[in-house]
């Protein structure tokens, strides 16, 4: 398993840093967020270090997200939340604070509202995004089992 000594979440995985663990299996860990957005905010992460989700093999991304419903159900049952958001940030510009892939499960409650950042109205500029042909994406990112 590849881990980095300077990564906070790798240190949690290795038991060198304390955390409130709510789920653990051979390859994944879920902990309560130390600085929660809402009561019950949890993080699900792979034990192996990856900085961004696009650095992970597709099978590993699938494995990570397969744990989210299990943890979310437990959080909803424990907190009595009315719903939840799932978030996954990649890079500093996206507000990724710890550079180790993790998925946020944020319980939501009808009586506290659901604040989001401001939105904008899309202009023609937003619809002129050109996608990169799949042939230009490094092979290590594509799974031989993926169909596009």
Catalytic residues: 102
Strand 28-32: give its sheet, edge to edge.
21-24, 28-32, 42-46, 103-108, 83-87
> Could you give the CA distance from residue 145 to residue 142 in angstroms, rounded to a whole number?
8
What is the C-alpha to C-alpha distance for residues 12 and 15, in angstroms, rounded to an integer? Answer: 5
CB 110 within 8 A of CB 132: no
**Dihedral angle sign, alpha carbons of residues 10, 19, 35, 111:** positive
């Amino acid at each position: 398993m590849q881990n980095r000594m300077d990564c906070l979440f790798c240190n949690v995985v290795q038991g060198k840093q304390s955390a409130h663990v709510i789920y653990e299996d051979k390859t994944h860990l879920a902990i309560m967020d130390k600085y929660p957005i809402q009561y019950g905010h949890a993080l699900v992460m792979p034990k192996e270090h990856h900085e961004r989700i696009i650095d992970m093999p597709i099978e590993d991304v699938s494995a990570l997200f397969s744990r989210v419903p299990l943890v979310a159900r437990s959080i909803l049952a424990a907190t009595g939340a009315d719903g939840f958001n799932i978030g996954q940030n990649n890079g500093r510009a996206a507000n990724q604070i710890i550079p180790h892939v993790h998925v946020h499960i944020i319980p939501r409650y009808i009586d506290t509202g659901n604040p989001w950042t401001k939105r904008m109205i899309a202009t023609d500029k937003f619809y002129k995004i050109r996608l990169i042909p799949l042939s230009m994406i490094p092979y290590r990112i594509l799974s031989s089992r993926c169909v596009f």
